[in-house]
Amino acid sequence: MRNVTLALIAILLTVGVLVGVGVFTLEVDADSPGPVEFNDTVLMGVSFDDEISDPDVDLPRTQVFYSQYRYVVGYHGAEWFVNAQRQEGHEQRFGYPLAVYVTDYSGTDLELSDEGYPRPDGEVTWTDAELAWFVVDSDARTPDGETVVPFSSRDDAETYTADYGGSVVSWDTLLEYEFDLDDAAAVGKRVDERQADADRLVEQRRTVADRPVETVVGENETIQEAISRTPTNATVLVPEGTYDELIEVDRPVTLQGEGDVSIRGDGESTVMTIRSPDAAVRNFEITDVGNSTSPEEQASVTENGTEDGDAVLEMAYAGGDAGVYVDDAPRVLVEDVSIETPSNGVMLRDSPETVVRNVSVKGGDEWGDAYMGVMSMRSGDSVIEESTFRDGRDGIYTHRSHGVVFRNNTLEGNRIGVHFMYTGESVIADNVVRDAEATGIHVMTNPHQNAVVGNDVRDSPTGIRTEGWNSYVARNVVVDTDLGMTTEAGNSIYEHNVLVRNEIGMRASHFLPANRVLANDFVDNDLHTQARQGTLRIWTHDGVGNYWHGAVGDVTDRTADDGEVVVFDRPYSATDTIDSRLHRVGGTPALAHAPQFDELAAFEGTVSGMRDASVVDTAPRCEPANPDLLAAAGLEPAEYVCGASTS
């Protein structure tokens, strides 16, 4: 102990000398650093380049050299930098900008596409932001919304406004400008609105149950024959019984089972295919689905002979057999259907605004014995709800299906419970995930503006992984995993989550320290937090942090959005050698109160250079923030008030 104390005193003395001579204050050199290739920056935000087919589109970009961050940071538009630099703690984590460069459209004969995307006719270069002129409120857009258009020449900026509107402002004026951006806070505020939109979509789709019965499948008639003689917007009623056939719904009718109706396929094919918009399938049991999980043909190639990335993924994930296959058929309803399958359950391809509800999909005894419970390929704005997916590769898999709402489902024994790829602006809410072989919920591959809220994930190697940008992750319960949650999504908010009895509660994964992490409860984890490479992460917002089981210190009251909050006066770092053990080892609270540690903790909480690959909460909560969720996790919240439980 004496050696540790002497070592800490030496560190503190050294730090004091270094602070005195201003080592941590960088002066701007007369020769500012020049711009770099944008691909060489650490990106802050999602690139939509792969979603824009026009090769002449060149979206605005900004790159920033910071005084306390060793890498150049790239923003997809000046508006995102302006928004970021005014966020609480931004300068503490990054330092101040040494140099800022923006896209220069001067001399490019800039036009806008039909979507409002910038289409320059000429080389786009970089210009110093402080010397540039910016057009705000013009017709220019990116897939993310409104955007600022920079020019090195004011005359060029004025010429542009004559064609596309807007106002010309200087850099200083732009820094004070207010932008209505779809950041993580906006995503969180829209969750209820998206849920309400989903309610309306479900209600609209379910009106097909009221279609008049025009056809009843006869005793010596197949279902397919009955469909062929049914007028549009009518119901085909299928009496109770077992039907051995493959079915194609090629018109907007409702196929309705009456009582216990089983459809048995041939064991080699998709059983039911829907190819008409506004069709519906209700109340069936489907068995004997084919076992193909990928088509026989190889991935297609583009005209110039190179592989089409989407085609490769489509062949790999969206092929093969299914119980119900909805193909190029928007606004379909699949309801009250039970499927036993060695391949896919429900497959949606190019079928937006579809509703899948109260569906049960059972795969093989092992996840590798079946494929996707429900697959959504380019079928955005759909709703999958109140369904159960067991023992398949993925409970749900999406690809470029923006706007999906996946809610109130149960997923058990899948490889990945919820697996989103290239999918944004979606809601994953109130699902129960159990015993995933790999990950409970994984949102990956260039996602943006997703909300992951109210889910309960337990007993898997990884609980929740959210990659991408501008996501809102809140009120999730994660219990008994190897890794509870990651903060891989940048510019995102992680709040009011409960992480209990995990080997690692939450991993600070994103390279940039640009996330807001607050009001989470960390209880009985082996390690509350682990930090990967990166600079200091400060997990406190507006003076209120998270609840860390085992944190110690004197208490004080703070006023926050949720009222008076009792917090400890001593910073807490779950990545610190001592703090990380407070909830597991007797006697460490006394050690943590040693003056040397208190002084070092306070200093480390304010200096980025002292906290490389670390997490600091400058105002740890004395009480859990989410007692209702702790109770749902099987704990008694009263036992964790103000350090009452430290074992």
Query: What confidence tens digit (pLDDT) does each residue in 224-233 have?
Result: 999 999 999 9
**Quick check: 567 pLDDT over 70?**
yes
How confident is the model over 326-355, as a mean pLDDT? 97
The residues near 561 (Cβ < 8 Å, ≥ 6 apart) are 542
Length of the chain: 647
160 and 65, same structural domain? yes
Indicate if 126 and 250 belong to the same structural domain.
no
Is 530 inside a domain boundary? yes
Kindly list the distances between the CA atom of residue 406 and the CA atoms of 216, 357, 375, 446, in Å, as whole numbers in the listed order.
Answer: 34, 10, 12, 19
State how far the Cα of 11 lies from the Cα of 281, in Å rounded to an integer. 70
pLDDT digits (tens, 9 = 90+) for 155-174: 999 999 999 999 999 999 99
d(CA 187, CA 429): 13
Looking at the structure, tell me whether residues 134 and 230 fall in a common domain.
no
Pair 618, 571: CB distance under 8 Å: yes
Q: Is residue 416 part of a domain?
A: no
The pLDDT, as a whole number, for residue 644 is 56
Checking if the pLDDT of 28 tops 50, the result is no
Query: Where among 370, 402, 434 does a domain terminate?
Result: 402
Rounded CA Rg of the chain: 28
- Residue 418 maps to a domain: no
Instruction: Mean pLDDT check: name the lowest of 78-82, 246-250, 275-279.
Output: 78-82
Least confident of 130-139, 260-269, 389-398, 533-542: 533-542
Same domain, 274 and 157: no
> What's the pLDDT at 42?
87
- In this predicted structure, the answer to whether residue 12 has a pLDDT above a threshold of 60 is no
Q: Within a domain: residue 94? A: yes
Last residue of a domain, one of 161, 181, 201: 181
- Residue 357 falls within a domain, yes or no? yes
In a domain, 502, yes or no: yes
Asked if 188 and 161 sit in the same domain, the reply is: no
Average pLDDT across the chain, whole number: 86
187 pLDDT above the threshold of 90: yes
Whether residue 272 sits in one domain with residue 156: no
Which position has the token pair 């989407």? 310
- Domain co-membership, 229 together with 283: yes
**296 close to 269: Cβ distance less than 8 angstroms:** no
Q: Is 185 exposed, middle or buried (0-12, 13-18, 19+ CB in 10 A)?
A: middle
In a domain, 466, yes or no: no
Residue 597 has pLDDT above 80, yes or no: no
Specify the higher pLDDT residue, 533 or 617: 617
Q: Read off the pLDDT band of 307 (50, 70, 90).
A: low
pLDDT digits (tens, 9 = 90+) for 200-249: 999 999 999 999 999 999 988 999 999 999 999 999 999 999 999 999 99
Percent pLDDT > 70 in the chain is: 85
Residue 505 pLDDT greater than 90, yes or no: yes
- In the chain, how many domains are there? 3
Q: Is the pLDDT of residue 530 over 80?
A: yes
3-state secondary structure of 575: coil
**Minimum mean pLDDT among 40-49, 250-259, 592-601: which range?**
592-601
- CATH number, position 240: 2.160.20.10
**Could you please report the per-residue DSSP string of 375-429?**
EEES--S-EEES-EEESSSEEEEEES-TT-EEES-EEES-SEEEEEES--S-EEE
Task: Give residue 543's pLDDT.
Answer: 86
Give me the mean pLDDT over the 271-297 stretch: 90
* Same domain as 237, residue 90: no
Are residues 490 and 354 located together in one domain of the fold?
no
* pLDDT score of 141 more than 90: yes
Model confidence pLDDT, tens digit, residues 416-473: 999 999 999 999 999 999 999 999 999 999 899 999 999 999 999 999 999 998 999 9
Is residue 471 a contact partner of residue 187, using CB atoms and an 8 Å limit?
yes
455 neighbors 481 (Cβ within 8 angstroms): no
Shared domain for 355 and 329, answered yes or no, is: yes
| Rounded-to-integer distance, Cα 274 and Cα 282, Å | 13
| pLDDT at position 561 | 64
Containing structural domain, residue 358? 182-402
For tokens 């201003």, name the residue. 22
Which of residues 353, 386, 402 is at a domain's end? 402
- Segment 275-300 mean pLDDT: 83
User: Rounded to 5 degrees, what are φ and ψ at 338?
Assistant: -110, 130
Q: Phi first, then psi: what are they for 78, rounded to 5°?
A: -65, -30
- Examine the domain organization and report whether 344 and 236 are in the same domain: yes
pLDDT at residue 18 is higher than 90: no
User: Per-residue pLDDT averaged across 583-607, rounded?
Assistant: 52
Domain presence at residue 15 = no
Do 507 and 527 meet the contact criterion of CB atoms below 8 Å apart? no
pLDDT at 91 over 90: no
Q: Looking at residue 574, what is its pLDDT?
A: 82
Q: Is residue 216 exposed (0-12), middle (13-18) or buried (19+ Cβ within 10 Å)?
A: middle
Clarify whether residues 177 and 193 are in a common domain.
no
Q: Which is more confidently placed, 179 or 406?
A: 406
Which of 312-326, 401-415, 558-572 is the least confident region? 558-572
